[in-house]
Structure 1
């Protein structure tokens, strides 16, 4: 009877004690979080309740399973299994605690600084630091688990002896991975690109959605995701529209007839921008920037707080200005002048041009403007 009750008491007591301790710690963190609203530390630490309970339960069972006669025949297997669970849960708990500390540091920095560019830079660095910590803890935990096996401990000397050769081979084989790894650290701390930056890569316009140690994801305007190695951003040029500041200036070109009412277009542009919520009011303008034998090039300029708003401003100005010109000033749209073909005489007579005195008919064909 004792052989049955003792394991039940040990296992049941360990589980009950684990649940009670986990509940008590969770309640303590909950109350502390309620008293300190200025920091999310205590609320984030509550995410470590499950790994904390696993660590506590594995430690209790690891220390008491030797006292059970029923487990003596399988003592080595049970002890090793509990040790593996203890190491894995401890690594999980360390990762959760580190994540809580890193997230708290970022939140405090974001609340203290109102510069969006600096906040995005710190956010990128924090996310990569968290991934590095997770990778280091995971590697250390895996190594500790392997060392629990006697065969691995016995092979340690030979592994160390061949570490130099293996390191060279691994470095050559993982050259691309290592280059991406160092490129990720360079991006994080070199402030080249940040989470939330608006970039143009290979002709694709998008926003930096995710940065890891080896790859980077760009979310395009049509909700596609472009995954690229981070080494691309350290070896090739790209456009960063939100570097330093997210404010942008947008330009819309119109190709119009020489008789286009430029001054009235300037007044109309001002009215369009006043009714456009995406315009930030910083600057605007309209000027003739070029001319050709058949058209003039008119440039409309406006500003907005970010890339999304400048796109809205540009399409709004283009659409409403073309509609207004077509309705109020259709003559301003570019036209193509054509004439009937005249056969060339055999030669010039009396020094006169063969076209002198020839009748001509002019047809004006309007066509739509573009900008």
Structure 2
């Protein structure tokens, strides 16, 4: 198939060689190569310009298309050089060696181009879906699954490229044919599948397509809260609150319980706990909490409750229940309400605050 696809280029190269008969023989090959590279550059520039104009309204698409220029130019140039070698130096010494070198380069550039093309297709699909669904849960789900599929396709392309290069070597080709024909191939594949690396790959696909977590989900792992930043074939990157990144194998999310605070929606509820004396102004705190919540844009209006949940050893436990649109807003809202209430208690009701000696010891 590759040979038949390059036949028009070989015919063009033959015509170029015939047209360059007036050039000294010592320079003819390099002139033909230069002409081929120039043609490759022109084709690359024209196609790039056309596609960028088509997708001029999408900055992401323009950047992805621009990123495909170099691998496309490299693949086209490799075909040009191979064709020039075939037409002009077929009977020369070391011809087979240089043909093999340029074949390797062609496969490498072509694989690189196809990988970049899958990235471009991913960007195009996500751009269309974002316009349709907006920045929501559906987009996060599709983004996770498409991103994982792109990585699977890239891995397959790399394996095919390596196999294509190896199978051009006669000794390796014979060995590969023997392995593929043997009945032991299935047992080898099964044996590899149970190993940790492939187990992580399968776990990564399971995590993405069962919708257990998505890019952008807020989760709690290893007693740390963070946001899912990236899901790959073998590991998941979690961005923690303090800016650190925790990298966990995909099998962690299929074998270990974890919290997903945004599994169905980002809305979340929380509590504020205050230890106060029995003479604390509970009614005032209840009224003041409502005023603080209603005055804040962080509160989503769902939960607003203050109750006494315990009374032991001269202290009462005042628990405030509140809610927000997402965990980040809940954190900011909780700290704001706690700070305001404590400031007012210190200023207006200092006798209601517990003596440090009354607080339970922390082991």
Shorter chain as denominator, the TM-score bin is: 0.7 to 0.9
Q: C-alpha displacement at 1:40, in angstroms?
A: 5.8
Q: Is contact 2:82-2:102 (8 Å) kept?
A: yes
- The answer on 1:195 being equivalent to 2:215 is yes
Q: 1 CA distance for matches of 2:69 and 2:264?
A: 40
Q: 1 CA distance for matches of 2:109 and 2:144?
A: 28
Residue 8 of structure 1 is matched in structure 2 by: 30
Q: C-alpha displacement at 1:280, in angstroms?
A: 3.0
Q: 1 CA distance for matches of 2:32 and 2:204?
A: 49
- The answer on 1:227 being equivalent to 2:247 is yes
Q: 1 CA distance for matches of 2:301 and 2:27?
A: 79
Residue 295 of structure 1 is matched in structure 2 by: 315
Residue 55 of structure 1 is matched in structure 2 by: 75
Structure of greater Rg:
1
- The answer on 1:261 being equivalent to 2:281 is yes
Given the superposition, is the C-alpha separation of residues 71 and 57 from structure 1 closer, same or farther in structure 2, using an over 3 Å criterion? Answer: farther
Q: Is contact 1:33-1:43 (8 Å) kept?
A: no
Q: Is contact 2:89-2:95 (8 Å) kept?
A: no
Q: C-alpha displacement at 1:41, in angstroms?
A: 5.0
Q: Is contact 1:66-1:72 (8 Å) kept?
A: no
Worse-matched range after superposition: 53-62 or 292-301: 292-301
Residue 104 of structure 1 is matched in structure 2 by: 124
- The answer on 1:243 being equivalent to 2:246 is no
Q: Is contact 1:99-1:130 (8 Å) kept?
A: yes
Q: 1 CA distance for matches of 2:89 and 2:232?
A: 50
Given the superposition, is the C-alpha separation of residues 39 and 221 from structure 1 closer, same or farther in structure 2, using an over 3 Å criterion? Answer: closer
Residue 342 of structure 1 is matched in structure 2 by: none
Q: Aligned runs of 1:160-171 on 2, under 5 Å?
A: 160-162=180-182, 164=184, 167-168=187-188, 171=191
- The answer on 1:321 being equivalent to 2:327 is no
Q: C-alpha displacement at 1:90, in angstroms?
A: 1.3
Q: 2 CA distance for matches of 1:268 and 1:206?
A: 31
Worse-matched range after superposition: 231-240 or 115-124: 115-124
SS of residue matched to 2:96: helix
- The answer on 1:30 being equivalent to 2:52 is yes
Given the superposition, is the C-alpha separation of residues 3 and 115 from structure 1 closer, same or farther in structure 2, using an over 3 Å criterion? Answer: closer
Q: C-alpha displacement at 1:172, in angstroms?
A: 4.9
Residue 349 of structure 1 is matched in structure 2 by: none
Under a length normalisation based on structure 1, what TM-score does the superposition of the two structures give?
0.84
Q: C-alpha displacement at 1:272, in angstroms?
A: 2.6
Residue 150 of structure 2 is matched in structure 1 by: 130
Across the two proteins, how many residue pairs are aligned to each other? 339
Query: Which of residues 192, 208, 215 in structure 1 aligns to 2:235?
Result: 215
Worse-matched range after superposition: 184-193 or 71-80: 71-80
Q: Is contact 2:36-2:81 (8 Å) kept?
A: yes
Residue 178 of structure 1 is matched in structure 2 by: 198
Q: Is contact 1:251-1:302 (8 Å) kept?
A: yes
Residue 66 of structure 1 is matched in structure 2 by: 86
Worse-matched range after superposition: 56-65 or 269-278: 269-278
* CA shift digits 1:183-220 (9 cap, x unpaired): 11111110001111111112111111111111111111
Q: 2 CA distance for matches of 1:172 and 1:114?
A: 41
What 5-or-longer segments of structure 2 have no aligned partner?
Answer: 1-22
Residue 20 of structure 1 is matched in structure 2 by: 42
Q: 2 CA distance for matches of 1:180 and 1:69?
A: 49
Q: 1 CA distance for matches of 2:338 and 2:326?
A: 18
- The answer on 1:119 being equivalent to 2:139 is yes
Q: 2 CA distance for matches of 1:326 and 1:8?
A: 87
Given the superposition, is the C-alpha separation of residues 26 and 168 from structure 1 closer, same or farther in structure 2, using an over 3 Å criterion? Answer: closer
What 5-or-longer segments of structure 1 have no aligned partner?
Answer: 337-364
Q: Is contact 1:29-1:46 (8 Å) kept?
A: no
Given the superposition, is the C-alpha separation of residues 213 and 169 from structure 1 closer, same or farther in structure 2, using an over 3 Å criterion? Answer: closer
